[in-house]
Amino acid sequence: MRSEPKADGLLLVDKKSGITSHDAVERFRRRSRIKKVGHTGTLDPLATGLLMLCVGKATRLQAYLMGMEKTYEGTIQFGWATDSYDADGTPVGEAIEQSVEHIDFQPLLPPFIGDLEQMPPQFSAKKVAGVRAYELARKGETAALTPKKVTVYEFEILSVQGSTAKFRVRSSAGTYVRSLAHDLGAAAGVPAHLKELRRTRIGSFKVEDAISFEKMSEADVGEILVAPQFQSLSEVDLPLEKVRIDWAAQGKLMRGQSVILTPAVPVKAGDLLALGNPHDQLIAIGEVANVLRVNGPAEIRPKVVLAG
Protein backbone atom coordinates (compact mmCIF):
# COMPACT_ATOMS: atom_id res chain seq x y z
CA MET A 1 0.00 0.00 0.00
CA ARG A 2 1.46 3.35 -1.04
CA SER A 3 1.72 5.99 1.68
CA GLU A 4 0.30 9.47 1.28
CA PRO A 5 2.92 12.09 0.27
CA LYS A 6 3.68 14.75 2.85
CA ALA A 7 2.91 18.27 1.64
CA ASP A 8 1.41 21.28 3.38
CA GLY A 9 0.87 24.58 1.61
CA LEU A 10 -0.90 26.46 -1.17
CA LEU A 11 -0.81 25.58 -4.84
CA LEU A 12 -1.67 28.47 -7.16
CA VAL A 13 -3.48 27.14 -10.23
CA ASP A 14 -4.62 28.93 -13.39
CA LYS A 15 -7.97 27.22 -13.94
CA LYS A 16 -9.09 26.68 -17.51
CA SER A 17 -12.62 27.30 -18.74
CA GLY A 18 -15.08 24.43 -18.86
CA ILE A 19 -14.23 22.74 -15.57
CA THR A 20 -15.49 23.34 -12.06
CA SER A 21 -13.30 24.31 -9.12
CA HIS A 22 -14.16 20.93 -7.62
CA ASP A 23 -12.84 19.25 -10.80
CA ALA A 24 -9.48 20.96 -10.29
CA VAL A 25 -9.32 19.87 -6.66
CA GLU A 26 -10.18 16.29 -7.54
CA ARG A 27 -7.64 16.19 -10.38
CA PHE A 28 -4.82 17.21 -8.03
CA ARG A 29 -6.05 14.98 -5.22
CA ARG A 30 -6.08 11.89 -7.44
CA ARG A 31 -2.70 12.60 -9.01
CA SER A 32 -0.95 13.51 -5.76
CA ARG A 33 -2.67 10.89 -3.55
CA ILE A 34 -2.99 13.63 -0.92
CA LYS A 35 -6.35 13.25 0.79
CA LYS A 36 -6.70 16.73 2.23
CA VAL A 37 -7.08 19.20 -0.65
CA GLY A 38 -9.53 22.11 -0.85
CA HIS A 39 -9.82 25.54 -2.42
CA THR A 40 -10.33 29.09 -1.17
CA GLY A 41 -13.19 30.27 -3.37
CA THR A 42 -15.19 28.85 -6.25
CA LEU A 43 -14.76 29.94 -9.85
CA ASP A 44 -17.71 29.27 -12.16
CA PRO A 45 -17.02 26.69 -14.91
CA LEU A 46 -17.04 29.48 -17.53
CA ALA A 47 -14.34 31.43 -15.72
CA THR A 48 -10.57 31.06 -15.92
CA GLY A 49 -7.84 32.31 -13.64
CA LEU A 50 -6.51 32.05 -10.13
CA LEU A 51 -7.68 29.15 -8.00
CA MET A 52 -5.82 28.51 -4.76
CA LEU A 53 -5.63 24.90 -3.63
CA CYS A 54 -5.04 24.27 0.07
CA VAL A 55 -2.97 21.11 0.53
CA GLY A 56 -2.53 19.08 3.70
CA LYS A 57 -2.49 21.17 6.87
CA ALA A 58 -3.17 24.28 4.81
CA THR A 59 -6.81 23.13 4.55
CA ARG A 60 -7.09 24.41 8.13
CA LEU A 61 -6.48 27.91 6.73
CA GLN A 62 -9.32 27.87 4.20
CA ALA A 63 -11.66 29.95 6.33
CA TYR A 64 -9.02 32.68 6.69
CA LEU A 65 -8.12 32.76 3.00
CA MET A 66 -11.63 32.63 1.54
CA GLY A 67 -12.47 36.12 2.78
CA MET A 68 -9.75 37.91 0.81
CA GLU A 69 -10.77 40.42 -1.85
CA LYS A 70 -10.75 39.29 -5.47
CA THR A 71 -9.87 41.01 -8.75
CA TYR A 72 -11.40 40.02 -12.08
CA GLU A 73 -11.20 41.06 -15.70
CA GLY A 74 -13.73 40.05 -18.31
CA THR A 75 -16.07 40.84 -21.16
CA ILE A 76 -19.73 41.82 -21.10
CA GLN A 77 -21.86 40.92 -24.12
CA PHE A 78 -24.68 43.35 -24.87
CA GLY A 79 -27.80 42.62 -26.88
CA TRP A 80 -29.38 39.83 -24.85
CA ALA A 81 -29.52 38.56 -21.29
CA THR A 82 -29.40 34.92 -20.18
CA ASP A 83 -31.15 33.07 -17.39
CA SER A 84 -27.82 32.42 -15.63
CA TYR A 85 -26.45 35.92 -16.33
CA ASP A 86 -23.49 34.39 -18.19
CA ALA A 87 -22.69 32.76 -21.53
CA ASP A 88 -23.46 29.28 -20.19
CA GLY A 89 -27.13 30.18 -19.79
CA THR A 90 -30.12 30.17 -22.11
CA PRO A 91 -30.81 33.48 -23.91
CA VAL A 92 -33.72 35.49 -22.58
CA GLY A 93 -35.35 36.80 -25.74
CA GLU A 94 -33.74 36.91 -29.15
CA ALA A 95 -29.93 36.81 -29.18
CA ILE A 96 -29.00 39.81 -31.31
CA GLU A 97 -25.76 41.73 -30.80
CA GLN A 98 -26.30 45.45 -30.21
CA SER A 99 -23.54 48.03 -30.42
CA VAL A 100 -22.94 50.01 -27.22
CA GLU A 101 -20.13 52.22 -28.51
CA HIS A 102 -22.43 55.23 -28.22
CA ILE A 103 -23.10 54.67 -24.49
CA ASP A 104 -21.18 56.59 -21.83
CA PHE A 105 -20.85 53.97 -19.09
CA GLN A 106 -19.03 56.19 -16.59
CA PRO A 107 -22.19 57.77 -15.08
CA LEU A 108 -23.77 54.30 -14.79
CA LEU A 109 -21.03 52.75 -12.65
CA PRO A 110 -21.27 54.55 -9.23
CA PRO A 111 -24.40 52.65 -8.08
CA PHE A 112 -22.44 49.42 -8.51
CA ILE A 113 -19.48 50.55 -6.39
CA GLY A 114 -19.36 50.46 -2.59
CA ASP A 115 -21.36 48.41 -0.10
CA LEU A 116 -24.17 46.68 -1.99
CA GLU A 117 -27.15 44.44 -1.30
CA GLN A 118 -26.66 42.06 -4.20
CA MET A 119 -29.29 39.55 -5.29
CA PRO A 120 -27.72 36.18 -6.21
CA PRO A 121 -28.66 34.78 -9.63
CA GLN A 122 -31.32 32.05 -9.74
CA PHE A 123 -28.63 29.84 -11.26
CA SER A 124 -26.34 29.99 -8.23
CA ALA A 125 -25.15 27.59 -5.56
CA LYS A 126 -27.04 29.43 -2.81
CA LYS A 127 -29.13 27.05 -0.75
CA VAL A 128 -32.84 27.58 -0.09
CA ALA A 129 -34.33 25.12 2.42
CA GLY A 130 -31.33 22.86 1.81
CA VAL A 131 -31.65 22.89 -1.98
CA ARG A 132 -29.26 24.65 -4.38
CA ALA A 133 -30.94 27.49 -6.25
CA TYR A 134 -29.66 26.19 -9.60
CA GLU A 135 -31.35 22.82 -8.96
CA LEU A 136 -34.70 24.59 -8.60
CA ALA A 137 -33.98 26.81 -11.61
CA ARG A 138 -33.33 23.76 -13.79
CA LYS A 139 -36.80 22.50 -12.87
CA GLY A 140 -38.32 25.83 -13.84
CA GLU A 141 -38.90 26.80 -10.21
CA THR A 142 -37.94 30.13 -8.66
CA ALA A 143 -35.89 30.10 -5.47
CA ALA A 144 -36.77 32.57 -2.72
CA LEU A 145 -33.35 34.20 -2.61
CA THR A 146 -32.44 37.10 -0.38
CA PRO A 147 -29.86 39.84 -1.08
CA LYS A 148 -26.38 39.44 0.35
CA LYS A 149 -24.02 42.18 1.47
CA VAL A 150 -20.96 42.58 -0.74
CA THR A 151 -18.47 45.36 -1.40
CA VAL A 152 -17.28 46.42 -4.83
CA TYR A 153 -14.12 48.50 -4.48
CA GLU A 154 -13.56 49.12 -8.19
CA PHE A 155 -15.69 48.62 -11.30
CA GLU A 156 -14.06 50.02 -14.42
CA ILE A 157 -14.92 49.75 -18.10
CA LEU A 158 -11.58 49.30 -19.87
CA SER A 159 -12.76 49.44 -23.50
CA VAL A 160 -15.86 49.17 -25.66
CA GLN A 161 -15.94 47.57 -29.08
CA GLY A 162 -19.15 46.94 -30.96
CA SER A 163 -21.49 44.98 -28.72
CA THR A 164 -18.95 44.10 -26.02
CA ALA A 165 -17.21 45.91 -23.17
CA LYS A 166 -14.09 44.81 -21.33
CA PHE A 167 -14.02 45.55 -17.59
CA ARG A 168 -12.13 45.15 -14.33
CA VAL A 169 -13.73 44.51 -10.93
CA ARG A 170 -12.13 44.41 -7.49
CA SER A 171 -14.57 43.20 -4.87
CA SER A 172 -15.12 41.39 -1.61
CA ALA A 173 -15.43 37.63 -1.50
CA GLY A 174 -18.81 36.31 -2.57
CA THR A 175 -19.57 38.99 -5.15
CA TYR A 176 -21.40 37.74 -8.23
CA VAL A 177 -19.62 39.43 -11.12
CA ARG A 178 -22.18 38.06 -13.57
CA SER A 179 -24.87 39.91 -11.62
CA LEU A 180 -22.89 43.12 -12.11
CA ALA A 181 -22.79 42.45 -15.86
CA HIS A 182 -26.52 41.73 -16.00
CA ASP A 183 -27.44 44.76 -13.88
CA LEU A 184 -25.18 47.11 -15.84
CA GLY A 185 -27.02 46.06 -18.98
CA ALA A 186 -30.31 46.91 -17.31
CA ALA A 187 -28.94 50.32 -16.28
CA ALA A 188 -27.75 50.97 -19.85
CA GLY A 189 -31.09 49.93 -21.30
CA VAL A 190 -29.48 47.10 -23.28
CA PRO A 191 -29.82 43.48 -22.07
CA ALA A 192 -26.43 41.97 -21.25
CA HIS A 193 -24.67 38.94 -19.86
CA LEU A 194 -21.16 37.96 -18.81
CA LYS A 195 -19.30 36.56 -21.82
CA GLU A 196 -15.85 35.94 -20.32
CA LEU A 197 -14.34 36.16 -16.85
CA ARG A 198 -10.82 35.75 -15.52
CA ARG A 199 -9.76 36.03 -11.87
CA THR A 200 -6.40 37.76 -11.76
CA ARG A 201 -5.81 38.23 -8.02
CA ILE A 202 -6.87 36.90 -4.63
CA GLY A 203 -5.54 39.25 -1.98
CA SER A 204 -1.80 39.51 -2.69
CA PHE A 205 -1.73 36.30 -4.77
CA LYS A 206 -1.51 36.80 -8.56
CA VAL A 207 -2.48 34.58 -11.47
CA GLU A 208 0.91 35.32 -13.07
CA ASP A 209 2.45 33.20 -10.30
CA ALA A 210 0.13 30.23 -10.90
CA ILE A 211 0.75 26.92 -12.63
CA SER A 212 -1.46 26.17 -15.63
CA PHE A 213 -4.18 23.55 -15.20
CA GLU A 214 -2.60 21.55 -18.01
CA LYS A 215 0.82 21.49 -16.35
CA MET A 216 -0.75 20.61 -13.01
CA SER A 217 -2.43 17.69 -14.76
CA GLU A 218 0.70 16.45 -16.54
CA ALA A 219 3.80 17.35 -14.52
CA ASP A 220 5.36 15.08 -11.95
CA VAL A 221 3.73 15.77 -8.58
CA GLY A 222 7.11 15.90 -6.86
CA GLU A 223 8.15 18.68 -9.24
CA ILE A 224 4.95 20.60 -8.58
CA LEU A 225 5.45 20.51 -4.82
CA VAL A 226 8.87 22.17 -5.11
CA ALA A 227 7.88 24.61 -7.86
CA PRO A 228 7.47 28.36 -7.17
CA GLN A 229 3.71 27.96 -7.62
CA PHE A 230 3.57 25.87 -4.44
CA GLN A 231 3.94 27.89 -1.24
CA SER A 232 4.81 26.11 1.96
CA LEU A 233 3.14 27.11 5.22
CA SER A 234 6.09 29.33 6.11
CA GLU A 235 5.56 31.29 2.87
CA VAL A 236 1.79 31.76 3.06
CA ASP A 237 0.87 35.43 3.34
CA LEU A 238 -2.25 35.42 5.48
CA PRO A 239 -4.35 38.61 5.70
CA LEU A 240 -3.66 38.77 9.44
CA GLU A 241 -1.30 40.69 11.69
CA LYS A 242 1.87 38.65 12.20
CA VAL A 243 3.45 38.04 15.62
CA ARG A 244 6.78 36.31 16.26
CA ILE A 245 6.79 33.81 19.12
CA ASP A 246 9.57 31.92 20.88
CA TRP A 247 10.01 28.15 21.15
CA ALA A 248 8.44 28.00 24.60
CA ALA A 249 5.28 29.69 23.30
CA GLN A 250 5.22 27.31 20.35
CA GLY A 251 5.28 24.36 22.71
CA LYS A 252 2.33 25.74 24.68
CA LEU A 253 0.30 26.41 21.55
CA MET A 254 0.92 22.88 20.30
CA ARG A 255 -0.50 21.60 23.60
CA GLY A 256 -3.57 23.78 23.16
CA GLN A 257 -2.53 26.26 25.85
CA SER A 258 -2.87 30.04 25.75
CA VAL A 259 0.21 32.27 25.70
CA ILE A 260 0.92 35.84 26.75
CA LEU A 261 2.30 37.98 23.91
CA THR A 262 2.82 41.65 23.16
CA PRO A 263 1.74 42.37 19.56
CA ALA A 264 3.44 45.23 17.72
CA VAL A 265 0.05 46.86 17.05
CA PRO A 266 -2.92 47.52 19.35
CA VAL A 267 -5.35 44.57 19.50
CA LYS A 268 -8.73 43.86 21.02
CA ALA A 269 -10.54 40.74 22.16
CA GLY A 270 -11.56 38.62 19.18
CA ASP A 271 -8.75 39.75 16.86
CA LEU A 272 -6.93 37.01 14.97
CA LEU A 273 -3.14 36.83 14.65
CA ALA A 274 -0.75 34.77 12.52
CA LEU A 275 1.82 33.29 14.91
CA GLY A 276 5.25 32.37 13.56
CA ASN A 277 8.25 30.83 15.34
CA PRO A 278 11.86 32.14 15.28
CA HIS A 279 12.37 30.40 11.92
CA ASP A 280 9.42 32.34 10.46
CA GLN A 281 7.37 29.17 10.16
CA LEU A 282 3.64 29.73 10.55
CA ILE A 283 2.70 27.77 13.66
CA ALA A 284 -0.84 28.78 14.48
CA ILE A 285 -3.72 31.19 14.15
CA GLY A 286 -4.33 32.76 17.52
CA GLU A 287 -7.32 34.65 18.87
CA VAL A 288 -6.96 37.49 21.34
CA ALA A 289 -8.84 36.27 24.42
CA ASN A 290 -8.01 39.13 26.75
CA VAL A 291 -6.00 42.35 26.56
CA LEU A 292 -4.10 42.67 29.81
CA ARG A 293 -3.00 46.25 29.29
CA VAL A 294 -3.66 48.85 26.59
CA ASN A 295 -0.90 48.59 23.96
CA GLY A 296 0.66 45.91 26.13
CA PRO A 297 0.56 42.14 26.57
CA ALA A 298 -2.49 40.09 25.64
CA GLU A 299 -3.64 36.56 26.23
CA ILE A 300 -3.68 34.65 22.93
CA ARG A 301 -5.71 31.45 22.59
CA PRO A 302 -4.78 28.94 19.83
CA LYS A 303 -7.58 28.73 17.27
CA VAL A 304 -5.84 26.69 14.56
CA VAL A 305 -2.56 24.86 15.24
CA LEU A 306 -0.48 23.89 12.21
CA ALA A 307 2.66 22.56 13.87
CA GLY A 308 3.02 18.94 14.90
Catalogue the active-site residues: 44
Distance, CA of 168 to CA of 180 (rounded, Å)? 11
Distance, CA of 76 to CA of 167 (rounded, Å)? 8
Neighbours of 255 (CB within 10 A): 10
